Structure 1
Amino acid sequence: MSTPAKTFYIETFGCQMNAHDSEKVIGTLEHEGYSRVEDEEAADLILYNTCSIRDKAEQKVFHRLNEYKRMQGEGKKFAVLGCVAQQEGNKIFDKAPFVSLVSGSASYRNLPEMLVRLEAGEKRITGLDDRQTEETFDTEFTARSNPHRGYITIIEGCDKFCSYCVVPYTRGKERSRSSESILTEAKRMAEAGYTDIQLLGQNVNSYHDPLGKKSFADVLAMVGELSGVRRVRFTTSHPRDFTPDIVQVIDAMPSICDHVHLPVQSGSSAVLKAMQREYTREWYLERIAWIKAAKRDISMTTDIIVGFPGETEEDFEETMSLLDVVGYDGVFAFQYSPRPNTPAVGMAETVSDEVKASRLQRLLEAQRERQRISYERHLNQIVEVMVEGYNHQRGQVTGRTSQNKTLNFTTSLPILPAIGSYLNVRVTKTFPNSLVGEAVSAA
């Protein structure tokens, strides 16, 4: 008599790290005999991989749990994973008693053992309080969702303790994988046909090889040299650990993408000090100067928080001035919102919600105009594009440049280029957030 199939449904909230964590969780579950389904109703086990970076993230998770608690009578089991799980801990069992498993990301390597306990009927299983672990979640069973672009987490956790950020408390301390294990995974991906590999970490350039063999720049070069790999990306960098050799590797190796995401958070040294970023405006701009001095045209993007406690109008104007000084090709900007268990929670909120909203709008409008001008430099350039999809309504192919810019283009080819293929495209029109062009040849 055959064993009945075990099914699971997973929903992921948040960043690329969470998305890749879910790929590894999915692969682990499938290796343990579970089959993935696309509908909660069809699942025996429902998992939510959560994020707590933004305000109201916890409410979103509990709202979703509340929507589906009616299914507990059907014998379904629920698991909360990720940052909200680590942050809320056992309180999740109190708020949602039908949840059976709560695990932070630092404990994912124990998932097979936790699943055995879950199947044995245990009602409250936790994988928490593992901040001091030296272990990383490496698995060869990753279920990658894209057959052409794949992620490799090279460092987990964070030791920076910025005053507004919950990540060090939810993902544990910084712990890097060995350069050998990274190379093994990258080789396996290249042999499977992946041409675009992205290295991930909360602070990816804080990487320290436990074997003492490779720097972060060395790891970039090592992956970029693999046969079949055409693009290597990395995110997210931290200014404190951004070094000149990173720029040198980008300059020397065409396979390393000419794009750096370097979050500044504020252009005011006073606000940066209150944020406990441990660098100044001048320190940050020195690193920008390294990037600008490169032989290649390296695209730069950043993260900015507006309305941090104590931010004056003068502080905000210093942030606004960075848009001109740096010339970002993209800015991800957010209003400050206090996160649980962070030092900034105790700071007096000196900026009203109305002022935060106004500053955010001013910043985004100013950046949009700067991007309009910045993107114009690509007009008439021929750039390599990786095909990502099709817009049949517009008769366009959608792709991405090595600078991580969206390029929508037409082609005279009788057959549409395959997703994952590379073409050379001439840019014929520019917008603040995208480019338009015509294919000229296969790359």
Structure 2
Amino acid sequence: MTADTEQPAGKPSPNDILVPVSKTFYIETFGCQMNAHDSEKVIGTLEHEGYAQVSDEAEAGLILYNTCSIRDKAEQKVFHRLNEYKRLQGEGKRFAVIGCVAQQEGERIFERAPYVSIVAGSASYRNLPDMLARLEAGETRITGLDDRQTEETFDTEFTVRSNPHRGYITIIEGCDKFCAYCVVPYTRGKERSRTSASVLVEARRMADQGYTDIQLLGQNVNSWRDPSGRLSFAELLTAVGSTPGIKRVRFTTSHPRDFTRDIVEAIDATPTLCDHIHLPVQSGSSSVLHAMSREYTRDWYLERMSWIHSAKRDISITSDMIVGFPGETDADFEETITLLGAVRYDAVFAFKFSPRPNTPAVGMPDTISDEVKTERLRILNDRQREIQREHYARHLGQTVEVMVESYNAARGQIVGRSTQNKTVNFTLVPDALEPPIGSYLPIRITRTMPNCLVGESIAGALPLQTTLQAQPFVVLN
């Protein structure tokens, strides 16, 4: 082929024999709730474009991996999975890597895995129909790698939700915080908020479909700013919570820099807003917080904790923490341990520091050994377990409303969740009818454990069951 007739990379040649793309797909999702909900929207988009979802990659014409790059070795996990299935390329299958690892690694994915046909970051999902059309036309290297300056959000009415009772609404995408350890601003772009009107339309549509539990999502959900200027974040919470048919509204994940007192006031004033706040602190040391570029201090964070502790409702508090950040001394770590006692969290998700690509922390001397990080993580988890054991005891003898989630036949228990986002394992009083999943029951707590509550139903109490329209199920791995 001469230079005049050379085809662009990834474009089909007139001499190529094009193998039609089977319009079936399999999707595997790694990572957080944001990724899980992104997959629900991707699935809906694919189905709207005429694709049918299958539960086995061997039956799929298109295999998608929705990836997460928050934790260490995320890229290796993705490439390992790709290598496991590259043998399927000979069967005419196509592969797509989407999400954070796709945005982070970009076209290097084509070099390491030449059988991949689509590489797309989350900011490009709105362009999926065009990408699919190009794939069907025979292109083999299709990219959707928007820069972080895009103003677009991925709003779609074609979402296929995996749970017929609880659903997500993404209200803000991206992040502008640039914490030293975090890759999210580089993989998901800048903060982009949806209008309050579009959020409320989706909430009403979900309520009409039978959803009773809604969770508002964002990398920093409380950084949401209404592009129309109509509502504050606290006012949006109240408006969603006032939607007829909605019984519970949650939101995650919040950032301390944008956490305002009116959020606590809204929870106090609106019974449908769940009495649970997840507010990641990352460290109890102001010097470490400064090194992390968190832009608040220990005292700033504790002031927000005081607002929550002084609320009329008993609001459950959970958090994220990192141990072993570069420069963290024994004294710094001890400040994190004392913060546990000061706040008395109901749960803490703690991790050892690991440098992520493209972040400022990559260039920091990581002088703390893995052995020290491991020991600090053990100490933190042991102390938090003690606190949870003591703190959960406050629920003994209480009656809490529980949403039924599943049945544990082996233990003869029903599994549900309280408005504080605590797991409740309970049994029924004799002759009580088994409550349907998605219904709500008052449960008397008879025993408390570090990670769950145990109880029994109340004689004569009937489950509140909403009228549910049939919803399609998907399997997200």
TM-score normalized with structure 1 length:
0.99
Once the 2 structures are TM-superposed, how far is the Cα of residue 192 of structure 1 from its aligned partner?
A: 0.2
How much does 1:236 deviate? Answer: 0.1
Assess if the C-alpha contact under 8 Å between 2:276 and 2:420 holds in 1. yes
Amino acid at match of 1:139: T
> C-alpha offsets along residues 232-282 of structure 1, whole Å, 9 cap, x if unaligned?
000000000000000000000110000000000000000000000000000
SS state of the match for residue 78, structure 1? strand
The percentage of counterpart residues that share the same residue type is 74
1:421 aligned residue = 439
Map of 1:327-366 to 2, 5 A cutoff?
A: 327-366=344-383
Q: CA deviation at 1:128?
A: 0.2
Contact 2:172 2:220 in 1 (8 A): yes
Task: Indicate conservation of the 8 Å contact 1:311/1:350, yes or no.
Answer: no
Q: What are structure 2's unaligned runs of at least 5 residues? A: 1-19, 465-477
* Corresponding position: 1:384 with 2:401: yes
Aligned counterparts, 1:169-318, within 5 A: 169-318=186-335
d(CA) in 2 for partners of 1:350, 1:91: 30
Pair 1:90 & 2:107 matched: yes
Q: Which deviates the most, 189-198 or 410-419?
A: 410-419
Instruction: From 85, 110, 123, give the equivalent of 1:68.
Output: 85
Give, as a single letter, the amino acid of the residue that structure 2 aligns with 1:436: V
Partner amino acid for 2:306? Answer: A
Aligned to 1:416, what secondary structure does the other structure show?
coil
Give the counterpart letter for 1:84 in structure 2. V
Q: Distance in 2 between matches of 1:369 and 1:389?
A: 28
Matched, 1:14 2:31: yes
Q: Closer, same or farther in 2 for the Cα pair 1:283/1:40, shift >3 Å?
A: same
CA distance in 2, matches of 1:416, 1:29: 37
Q: Deviations over 1:49-98 (max 9, x none)?
A: 00000000000000000000001010000000000000000000000000
Q: d(CA) in 2 for partners of 1:280 and 1:151?
A: 31
1:118 maps to 135
Structure 2: how far apart are the matches of 1:190 and 1:24? 18
**Are residue 437 (structure 1) and residue 455 (structure 2) matched?**
yes
Map of 1:55 onto structure 2: 72
Aligned-partner Cα distance in 2 for 1:414–1:348: 61
C-alpha distance in 1 between matches for 2:361 and 2:212: 42
Quote the Cα distance in structure 2 between the aligned partners of 1:131 and 1:417: 47
User: Aligned equivalents of 2:320 and 2:191: distance in 1?
Assistant: 21
Separation of aligned partners in 1, 2:393 and 2:305: 21
Q: C-alpha separation between the residues in 1 aligned to 2:344 and 2:409? A: 34
Q: Which residue of 2 aligns with 1:375?
A: 392
Shift of 1:349: 0.6
The equivalent residue for 2:51 is 34
Bigger RCO of structures 1 and 2 (CA < 8 A, at least 6 apart): 2
Aligned-partner residue type, residue 425 of structure 1:
I
Which of the two has higher C-alpha Rg? 2
Partner of 1:331, secondary structure, is strand
Residues of 1 paired with 2:357 and 2:155: CA distance? 29
Q: Please tell me whether the aligned partners of residues 5 and 35 of structure 1 are also in contact (alpha carbons under 8 angstroms).
A: no
For 1:416 and 1:136, how far apart are their aligned partners in 2?
A: 42
Q: Look up the match of 2:6.
A: none
Shift in Å at residue 334 of structure 1? 0.1
Residue 321 of structure 1 aligns with an amino acid whose one-letter code is T
- The residue correspondences of 1:128-147 to structure 2 (distance < 5 A) are 128-147=145-164
Q: Which residue among 108, 118, 121 is the counterpart of 1:104? A: 121
Q: State the SS of the aligned residue for 2:40.
A: helix
CA distance in 2, matches of 1:14, 1:331: 18
Following superposition, which runs of at least 4 residues in structure 1 exceed 2 angstroms of deviation?
Answer: 412-415
Q: Deviations over 1:319-343 (max 9, x none)?
A: 0001100000000000000000000
1:5 shift after superposition: 6.2
1:411 maps to 428
C-alpha deviation, 1:6, in angstroms: 1.3
How high is the TM-score relative to the length of structure 2? 0.92
Distance in 2 (CA, whole Å) between partners of 1:414 and 1:53 is: 45
In 1, the alpha carbon distance for the partners of 2:302 and 2:414 equals 37
User: In structure 1, how many angstroms separate the alpha carbons of the residues matched to 2:242 and 2:146?
Assistant: 39
CA distance in 2, matches of 1:439, 1:138: 40
Task: Please tell me whether the aligned partners of residues 107 and 130 of structure 1 are also in contact (alpha carbons under 8 angstroms).
Answer: no
Aligned equivalents of 1:102, 1:52: Cα separation in 2? 14
> Which amino acid letter does the alignment assign opposite residue 20 of structure 1?
H
Distance in 1 between residues matched to 2:410 and 2:119, nearest whole Å: 44
